[in-house]
Amino acid sequence: ALDNDLKAAAAGQQGRVRIASVPSVAAKLIPSVLGAFCEQYPNVEVSLIDDNAAGVEARLLSGEVDLALGNPSHLDEGGIDFTPLLADPIGVVCLKDNPIASHPEGIEWQTLLEQPFIRNGTCTLLDPTP
């Protein structure tokens, strides 16, 4: 479906592209890219679904969307082709007197594991990180 829709877009015909994206990509990358795409191909309908990484993958596998943008850490399926588009740096927020703050060049994961920290649901994306 995506090949046909992209070919239709390239020919200036009508078509549809369905995209699922994690919130960080949807907020930062998609607006400028989507705006330029829609100007160039006004007859192509683009729909965007905002979801977490696991939901984005599930939507792609089910065929609900044609394209998924997100973190590859949830990719368990051999039927998905992943192409890196950009690096998404991860930062640490701490008090100025915390020992971590004295490492402006970066720190190792092991150093973080030795520190108490607050985490939210998206931190499960980092669980499989060595």
Residue whose token pair is 């070919």: 7
Average pLDDT, the chain: 79
Half-sphere exposure of 51 (CA within 13 A, CB side): 17
Pair (64, 94) in one structural domain: no
pLDDT of residue 110: 81
pLDDT of residue 76: 63
Which helix H or strand E contains 44, and what residues bound it? Answer: strand 44-50
pLDDT in tens, 8-48: 656 666 788 999 998 888 888 888 888 888 888 888 899 99
Could you give the 3-state DSSP secondary structure of residue 63? coil
pLDDT in tens, 48-64: 999 988 899 889 989 99
User: Amino acid identity, residue 129?
Assistant: T
Expressed as residue numbers, the domain containing 123 is: 89-130
% of the chain at pLDDT higher than 90: 16
Burial class (CB in 10 A: 0-12, 13-18, 19+), 36: exposed
Pair (68, 116) in one structural domain: no
Pair (15, 64) in one structural domain: yes
Pair (52, 23) in one structural domain: yes
Nearest to 112 by CA among 88, 125, 94: 94
